[in-house]
Amino acid sequence: MSKDLIESVKKLREITGVGFKDCKAAIDETGGDIEKSIELLRKKGIAKASNKMSRTAAEGLCLLKEINGEVAVIEINSETDFVAKNKDFILFCKEVSEINFDNKGDLAKVNQAKMKNNLTVETNLTDLIAKIGEKITIRRAAFFDKSSGVNSYYIHGALEDNIGKIISLVKISSNDENNTGKKVAMHISAMSPLALNDKGLDKAIVEKEMEIIKAELANSGKPADMIDKIAKGKLNKFVSDNTLLNQIWIMDPKKKVSDILKENKIEVLDFVRFKVGEGV
């Protein structure tokens, strides 16, 4: 067995939790495609959906900058955790985070902005890659102003002030005495919702999930006349598990997020969640 094949099987096992034999069979059948192998194992009913599926590991940092209630977040990736702890990399990230705030999360403008050495971010990034010898990317950014609501955030796994591995940012309709915005941001960090409600879910994701559910049911021997009914129930659960308002509140399993918002007379207007390397 080649080294590449062993690595692919190992990676598939880490993502799915499925045994070596089934993972190797899936890798062989799909020609080594990890994404297709995950889908194949799910359709066979061997692997269950999890937050780790369809995601590969990447390193780096998420950084936040807040001034007078306005907040900017940015994710900058490296290939290894060793580089993510490199002094030059961290200093670069910190300065880019400042620039990101000034440019309101517009990455095109960030890349062309001048740094302290009077060279652009893009040029400094190229120089840093050459110096460190590892691929580094400025992946994504967001900016929440304070014109239409109140911004709260939560940094999980903080390495130092405003730097961590997961950053959640949420805009609520108004402030409240119970610090609900911060609590919702913590919930988002933990539960990783894909959208606010079912209307916000990507149709392609929902359709793919239904396809996988039906294939799994068919392979399990369920009668054809029952598959649609069972699949609908499973899909409804998928939607509930992945939409913020329908999720079970992490601080009280008897309530949903929507219940907490209603009790505090606030609405969630927008949110983002950045986790280092997720979805890369």
Pairing of strands 136-144, 70-78: antiparallel
Could you tell me how many helices (H) and strands (E) the chain has, helices first?
11, 7
d(CA 73, CA 136): 17
Residues contacting 225, CB < 8 A, separation 6+:
none
Contact 176, 264 (CB under 8 A): yes
Specify which of 9-18, 24-33, 99-108 reaches the highest per-range mean pLDDT: 99-108
SS3 of residue 206 by DSSP: helix
| pLDDT the model gives residue 106 | 98
Please check the confidence at residue 208 and state whether its pLDDT lies above 70: yes
Please check the confidence at residue 249 and state whether its pLDDT lies above 90: yes
| pLDDT the model gives residue 14 | 75
Lowest mean pLDDT among 38-42, 72-76, 144-148, 271-275: 38-42
Domains in the chain with CATH codes:
3-43 (1.10.8.10), 59-195+262-275 (3.30.479.20)
Global pTM value: 0.76
CA dihedral over 44, 279, 269, 202, signed as positive or negative: negative
| pLDDT the model gives residue 55 | 37
Segment 106-153, tens digit of pLDDT? 999 999 999 999 999 999 999 998 888 888 899 999 999 998 899 999
DSSP-H helix ranges across the chain:
3-16, 20-30, 34-43, 81-84, 87-102, 107-112, 121-132, 180-191, 203-219, 224-242, 257-263
Residues contacting 138, CB < 8 A, separation 6+:
74, 75, 76, 96, 107, 110, 111, 121, 125
Segment 30-61, tens digit of pLDDT? 998 888 888 888 888 877 655 544 433 379 99
d(CA 161, CA 146): 22
d(CA 37, CA 47): 10
Lowest mean pLDDT among 8-12, 123-127, 195-199: 8-12
Please check the confidence at residue 212 and state whether its pLDDT lies above 70: yes
Task: Please give the mean pLDDT across all residues of the chain.
Answer: 90
221 or 269, which is more confident? 269
